[in-house]
Amino acid sequence: MGSLGDHAGAAGAGAGRAGGGDADAVGDEGNARVIAGRYRLDARLGRGGMGTVWRATDLLLGRQVAVKELDRDETLSDTEAAQQRERTLREARAVAQLRHPHIVVVHDVVEHAEQPYIVMELIEGGSLARQIGRTGPLDAQTVARMGIDLLGALSTAHEAGILHRDLKPANVLVERAGGRVVLTDFGIAQVSGATTLTEVGSFVGSPEYTAPERIAGERTGPASDLWSLGALLVTALAGESPFRRDSIGGVLHAVIYEEIRPPERAAPLLPVVSGLLERDPRRRLDAAGAERLLQEYVDTGRMSAPPDGGSGAGRDGAGHGRLAGARRVLLPKPGPALGPRGRQRRAVLITAALVAAVTGGAVSATALLLGRDGDDGKPANTASPTPTTATPSPTVTVTEETPSPGPSTPQAPAGYRLAKDPEGFEIAVPRGFVRRTDGTRVFYASPSGTYRVGIKEAEPEPGGPLAVQRRADDEGPRTNPGYRNGEVTETTRNGRTAALWEFIWDDPGNAGGERQTYDLCWQEGGTMYDVWVSGPAEESEQVRKYFDTAVDTFVRRR
């Protein structure tokens, strides 16, 4: 929908990451919080689906670190809150086992008042997603080197029995000095021999980068991370995921069914991309084969097609652009083998169950995800009563798109009031802010006009929130006088895909001066929402506080 004039942007969630250690004390040093009497939270680096990332100072060792603070969701039950805490602690424990130059270093883990913090090395730079968003696709040599580095990181994790399970551009950091890539956010990592973070049988991940066998609920292994790497390499080469679609249903259908046709920009690395994006994990290119092909390209500028069959090969037409387009994903088999119609029906049901789960539908996971229908389409209780081993009914949680359970009444922090707007939404704004509108947008502004909160609703646009904000960023110099420091980052709001836009501009109007603007755009229930805040650039921390409160409390009522 684009930000015009008095719009806003938001800091990315992909700056340096962090983790924490054991302690009970949370104090203050000046205006900065001190965690465990040791880590001073100096400045917010970004926000993501799981929490806030801070630039911090280790007061004991006198070094800069990154601290990841898990958001506390007051709507969760005690059990759900405990699972969320365990998710963060599990991330720290998993990564702390690993030593590799391309895996983020975990220094410490802190839990205070049942809220965990993870202290990690501070990576001076941003995420691969942000880099692609700002400068566009990368050249094939750069992507090949990046692929080799990430393969090394994944191999180290896999040798330790750890699966990442959420490899995507937002979870790869690029160091500003030297371009070192660092794999981070093992928040849904699965450690061999341990129960998954979210409950037995549940699904967590980012659909555009998730292997089809994981979507189908099958037991997965290192090959699933390699599929994600293949999707990431295409994204780096072409600027967007090969499975990017306008809806979650479209994404799932593309991953499971559609012919995979990498864009022309992926041609230099097509053999390795083809091998990694093989739907059958048994035939997927392995890490050693992928590394060999990528190293060949780095050394010679060319890449040969790997041989069919055996380790490190196994695609139909590998290296020639045909990527198992017609093959259906292998589905779980809790009972007797299914015929072709039964397999197809179960694949459809799995897709339907996932779509329903991520759009808030009430679906019986037992019936849909375990495929209890017989070959003739009749319920399983009409088939042979051959006993089978009981399998837990999977639940489905998709990190990028899962909507919240429904609007709860937002709470206005001290110094704010809850504005129940005539347009049908509620939002917390500072006391004294006055409402006005220009016909398409609603504003709440301070009496002097120095600070402004804006809200806009519109029809969804092609490409979703990220494409909308990127177009707005491109148009920034034309729509905002003195436009500079524009930055767009993919993130989430309440589990839905969102895009954050941040920029500085010069206001020729009543407020005047250099202004900082933050904007969040997301899509929900067939409507695209835009919430932004702007204010004096020299008061950017206050502007950000107003922005965070506006985003956190916005609720649509009708």
What tens digit of pLDDT does each residue of 448-461 get? Answer: 889 999 999 988 88
49 pLDDT higher than 70? no
Confidence of residue 45 (pLDDT cuts 50, 70, 90): confident
Give pLDDT tens digits for 186-221.
Answer: 755 555 544 433 333 445 568 899 999 998 888 889
pLDDT computed for residue 318 by the predictor? 33
166 classed as catalytic: yes
- Phi and psi angles of residue 516, each rounded to the nearest 5 degrees, phi first: -100, 135
Average pLDDT over residues 235-249: 89
Residue pair 53/45 in contact by the 8 Å Cβ criterion? yes
Structure-model confidence comparison of residues 506 and 46, the more confident one: 506
Query: Nearest-CA neighbor of 552 among 407, 402, 359, 357?
Result: 407
- Give the span between the Cα atoms of 155 and 161, in whole angstroms: 10
Average pLDDT over residues 434-439: 86
Confidence of residue 382 (pLDDT cuts 50, 70, 90): very low
pLDDT computed for residue 372 by the predictor? 27
10 pLDDT higher than 60? no
256 pLDDT higher than 80? yes
- Give the span between the Cα atoms of 80 and 76, in whole angstroms: 6
Confidence of residue 443 (pLDDT cuts 50, 70, 90): very high
384 pLDDT higher than 70? no
Average pLDDT over residues 456-472: 90
2 pLDDT higher than 90? no
- Give the span between the Cα atoms of 533 and 511, in whole angstroms: 13
Residues of the chain with CATH 3.40.1000.10: 416-556
Residues of the chain with CATH 1.10.510.10: 125-195+206-300
pLDDT computed for residue 187 by the predictor? 55
CATH number assigned to the domain covering 125-195+206-300 = 1.10.510.10
pLDDT computed for residue 39 by the predictor? 94
- Taking the C-alpha atoms of 197, 161, 101 and 43 in order, what is their torsion angle to the nearest 10 degrees? 10
List the Cα angle 326/151/236 in 5-degree steps. 65
Residue pair 86/95 in contact by the 8 Å Cβ criterion? no
161 pLDDT higher than 70? yes
Percent of the chain with pLDDT over 90: 40
Side chain identity, residue 153: A
> Strand 513-524 to strand 484-493: parallel, antiparallel, or no bridges (unpaired)?
unpaired
- Give the span between the Cα atoms of 95 and 186, in whole angstroms: 7
Confidence of residue 144 (pLDDT cuts 50, 70, 90): very high
- Give the span between the Cα atoms of 14 and 123, in whole angstroms: 10
Would you state the structure tokens that stand for residue 76, as one six-digit string? 């969760």
Give pLDDT tens digits for 272-328.
Answer: 999 999 999 999 999 999 999 999 999 999 998 765 543 443 333 333 333 333 333
Tell me the H-state helices in 203-312: 212-215, 222-238, 248-256, 270-276, 287-300
Residue 68 counted as an annotated binding residue: yes
- Name the CATH code of domain 26-121 (choices 3.30.565.10, 2.60.120.10, 3.40.50.300, 3.30.200.20): 3.30.200.20
Average pLDDT over residues 28-47: 79
Mean pLDDT, rounded, of the chain: 75
Selecting among 149, 166, 185, 225, the annotated active-site residue is 166
- Give the span between the Cα atoms of 372 and 3, in whole angstroms: 49
3-state helix, strand and coil shares in percent for the chain, rounded to the nearest 5 = 30, 25, 45
Residues of the chain with CATH 3.30.200.20: 26-121
Give pLDDT tens digits for 68-127.
Answer: 887 666 677 888 778 777 776 776 777 788 899 999 998 988 887 677 888 999 998 889
- Name the CATH code of domain 416-556 (choices 3.40.50.720, 3.40.50.2300, 3.40.1000.10, 3.50.50.60): 3.40.1000.10
Confidence of residue 417 (pLDDT cuts 50, 70, 90): very high
Average pLDDT over residues 478-489: 90
- Give the span between the Cα atoms of 500 and 435, in whole angstroms: 24
Average pLDDT over residues 36-50: 81
Residue pair 115/69 in contact by the 8 Å Cβ criterion? yes
**Residues 6 or more apart in contact with residue 395 via CB below 8 angstroms:** 198, 199, 201, 202, 203, 357, 365
Would you state the structure tokens that stand for residue 228, as one six-digit string? 């994600």
pLDDT computed for residue 198 by the predictor? 37
Tell me the H-state helices in 97-210: 128-135, 140-159
How many whole angstroms from its chain centre is CA 408? 24
Would you state the structure tokens that stand for residue 410, as one six-digit string? 């937002």
Give pLDDT tens digits for 321-359.
Answer: 333 333 333 333 333 333 334 444 444 445 554 554 444
Residue pair 494/471 in contact by the 8 Å Cβ criterion? no
Task: Show the beta-strand stretches assigned E in 74-171.
Answer: 106-112, 115-121, 125-127, 162-163
- Give the span between the Cα atoms of 518 and 536, in whole angstroms: 12
Residue pair 321/266 in contact by the 8 Å Cβ criterion? no
**Dmax of the chain from CA atoms?**
78
Would you state the structure tokens that stand for residue 536, as one six-digit string? 């004096």
